[in-house]
Chain A
Amino acid sequence: MKIWLIARAECMSLLRTPTGWLVMAGVWFICGLMWSLSVFAYAATLADQVFDPYAVERLTLVDWLLGPWWGNLSVVLVFVTPVLTMRSIAGERASGTLELLKTSPVTSLEVVLGKFFGIWAFQALILCGTLHAPIGLALLGTSAWGAVGVAYGVLWFFAGALTALGLMCSSMTRSQVLAASATFAIGLTAYLVGVFNAGDPTAWHVQLSLSTHLIDGLRGALRLSDMVYFAGVCAVCLCAAWQRLESERWA
């Protein structure tokens, strides 16, 4: 199995190029900034409610501080994932290196899975860099590790679904810009459909939204249906990318 070989090369490629470091630094900077603003806003809210002990009890860290911040982090992932995935197949096709993979004893499925796990591992590194927030709270004596574990698990699966979507778009074209634009457009639409669900929350388009399956996880509630949804998005998109590469052989 050459999956891990390709995954390692993909991840290392992101770590070797300025793109990977810029994305990582950008996410950490934006998240750090948002964390500072969230903490100040939370402190101000607490101060306002100081004479209402019941209100203070309702202002839990997960619901009022970490949850919204993780929500912001998920939006940032929608923006940066296309940058990570655009070069994975489209870039290889444009530079001619896809020919190297096609003429090596590696199957198209191994190429797609290798690229997926490589970028997914890189996103795990990005998410690890945002652990400063829950660790900082724990050092101050306030910990909610169960909710933190669930939220990060769901965020990682969410990032996986975006990565698979990006790989699918990247497999369809040789233009990195087109691949990134398509990933961003589809990813953002699939995210916003769930956010602006003014109508029936059980409607099929709301149920298909990425954000709908993220909300409970970011509040610390692990739902199997959400994980199955993200795994399903991954499977569908990766299958499409695999079939696209296979079809090139038979074109």
Chain B
Amino acid sequence: MISVRGLTKRYGNLCAVNQLSFDVARGEVVGFLGPNGAGKTTTIRMLTGALAPTEGTVHVDGHDVRVRPARVKERVGYLPEAPPLYLDMTVRQYVHYCGQLKGLKRPAEAVDKTLARLDLQGVAQRIVGRLSKGVRQRVGLAQAIVHDPRLLVLDEPSSGLDPAQRVEFRLLLKGLAAGDTTVLLSSHILSEVEAVCDRVLIVHEGRLVGEESIASLGETSSIRVQVRRPEDSLASRLAQVDGVIDVRAGGEGRFVVASSMDVRETVAEVLAPHGLLELAQHRALEERYLAATQRRGSS
């Protein structure tokens, strides 16, 4: 569905995106991760045709964004970090207008369907500017899906939402991802990415530094521990625990224990005589994300 090859964007001397290449298959839900300034939004803007690349190519559904931008834009739904809302329109007027902009000849039916899908019928006649932030976010999502796009690109869709609104929005995303629409989700919220995506791409300083499937991440987990009285033999004793794959010592009695099963109880038993100070399970995605971005950052 998406084929990116050697994508580069330079602003003067600053290289925001550097030789980025990746593919996304049809129907796949892919998380796009990276720290602030990593080049995620720039990449997304090039994918959606809002920005032209300095070098490289982007193909969406077989169409080159540079050669046939209109074809690509018809197929893409995009929700930027700040939803692009006309605050003086009613919700229905706004979604209708966006449908027409996206090329729908008779958008009324699509508008009704979209409003129903996002539970917006109750506010259809209300002015967008008078809605709460959570509802505005849903209205923003409505403009992105009204034309039933083949590719849905979401840039930080939950930013600024409170925890309850985030959960609600995540459920919405799950519903969308369950269809055959390809989704590219850029987010800082790793739990959200883990819950929704099939695969993640990690970018840092404009380069692709990691690529993981969520299913493979589920096979391993890691725990971070710290003891008051560490010994040289402690790492090897931890490595002998059933299910432990790898033990890394971090200094000052800190260890990271990677395992293929839940080993917290056994590890706690081993470490208790040494003055266990901390035992925390870490999400595999978070580990991979930090490893990928810090490795690149320190190199």
Contacts and interface: CB of A to CB of B under 8 A. Distances in A.
A249 B52 contact: yes
B101 A106 contact: yes
Interface string B57-93: 0000000000001110110101010111111110000
Contacts of A249: 50-52
A102 B80 contact: no
B102 A104 contact: yes
Bin chain A's interface residue count. 20 to 34
A-B pairs, 8 with minimum CB distance? A100-B84, A105-B70, A104-B101, A102-B50, A105-B73, A97-B84, A103-B48, A96-B82
A57 interface: no
B11 A96 contact: no
Nearest to A104: B101
B158 interface: no
A96 B52 contact: no
A12 B11 CA distance: 37
Given A100-B84, A100-B143, A250 B76 contact: no
A13 B11 contact: no
A45 interface: no
B73 A103 contact: yes
Among A9, A95, A105, residue most surrounded by chain B Cβ atoms (within 10 Å):
A105
Nearest to A18: B88
The secondary structure that dominates the A interface is helix
A5 B51 CA distance: 23
Chain B interface helix/strand/loop/mixed: loop
Contacts of A100: 84, 98, 101, 143
Nearest to A5: B100
Nearest to B9: A251
Contacts of B83: 96
A106 B70 CA distance: 7
Contacts of B82: 96
A52 interface: no
A16 B88 contact: yes
Contact of A95 (B49, B87, B98): B87
Contacts of B100: 2, 5
A190 interface: no
A202 interface: no
Given A5-B100, A104-B102, A249-B51, A97 B86 contact: yes
Contacts of A17: 88
A156 to B, nearest CB: 26
B89 A16 contact: yes
Contacts of B85: 95-97
Interface centre among A2, A98, A99, A250 (most CB of B within 10 A): A99
A76 B85 CA distance: 32
Contacts of A46: none
A100 B141 CA distance: 12
B88 A102 contact: no
A2 B101 contact: yes
A100 B50 CA distance: 9
A105 B101 CA distance: 7
Contacts of B11: 251
